[in-house]
Amino acid sequence: MVNQQTAIYRILDANLDRAREGLRIIEEWCRFGLNDKETAATCKEMRQELASWHTNELRTARDTPNDPGTDLTHPQEVERESLQDLLQANLCRIQEALRVLEEYAKLYEVEFAGAMKQMRYRVYTLESKLLGQSRFKLLDQCSLYLVTSPVDNFFAVVESALKGGLKLVQYRHKDQDDLIKLKEAYKLRQLCNNYGALFIVNDRIDLAMAVNADGVHLGQTDCPVGLARQILGFSKIIGKSTTNPQEMAKAISDGADYIGVGPVYETPTKAGKKASGLEYVRYAQNNSTIPWFAIGGVDSNNIRDVIKSGAKKVAVVRAIMEAENPTEATKNLLKNF
């Protein structure tokens, strides 16, 4: 049995290596992929700070030949589905390593533990900047938002819309078992990744986290925006449905990243819900300080009226999900912007 002190030294040594390696991977993308000198320098500075704590005392405790963890792996580590996944995985790796260092360093050197805690917060900020930046930029650029509904050939319909230029998809399936929802959400996320589109999950924060979605969309009776932010962090997108000026104001003050404005027209998707009408669209145009999507019964027949009322972004359901040719339907809707 390894004595306690040696075991602690080995844990600190392994996690210092793990954190430094992860930071180097992030640094390389900032340097060569983003040409972001400032963020690359931040990564390098953190790597050097970690190196200053990586003493010979810790290094000499290393025993790689007898480490049972060297053969352990997981299928998700074998390949990455996208650059976003690669960055997310390594940011998580750094954060986990820093948390381990913070706790075990309390048994080694308290100042070391405090430094790791502060660095972990800096990595959270780095994560928000790197992953949130691209997500929010794409959100700003999206003029068409598809909210899914259960139809035959479900995945084929969504992929057909993605082929037509769609860049924002929300998975919404109210009446389905969780295991099926999980499988469908995971497959949709993969599809969206393949086409460079954002993927949002309706209502379910747990499901969004499980499939590493780009964010979540919340209704008025769902989890509060503030709590969702606490759970998901600042790199994920949080949307909120609103039906009147009061709900809009609250969603904005609570920190939503975008809002749904509607229902503009009566729709079976929101059965029994009175339409907010174009008047609310006009109100949003004059008062919303964050991106917003006109939603509710919007289709090819009325989209021009919605846009003339001030909408620069719209969300649709049946106009694509029930279209005979979803690719052409998507292209035709996009032509209006």
Cα-only R_g, the chain: 23
Q: Euclidean distance between the first and final Cα of the chain, in Å?
A: 69
Alpha helices, DSSP H, located in 166-311: 178-194, 205-210, 225-232, 245-254, 277-287, 303-308
Q: How far apart are CA 20 and CA 130, in angstroms?
A: 18
Q: Which of 172, 189, 240, 313 is catalytic?
A: 172
CA dihedral 203, 256, 311, 289 (to 10 degrees): 170
Task: Write down the catalytic residue from 18, 20, 270, 313.
Answer: 270
270 given a catalytic annotation: yes
Which residue in 241, 276, 288, 309 is the catalytic one?
Answer: 241
Q: Which two tokens stand for residue 116?
A: 């790791």
- Please tell me whether the peptide bond between 263 and the residue prior to it is cis, using omega within 30 degrees of 0: yes
Annotated catalytic, 204?
A: no
Please say if 172 is a catalytic residue.
yes
List the catalytic residues: 172, 241, 270
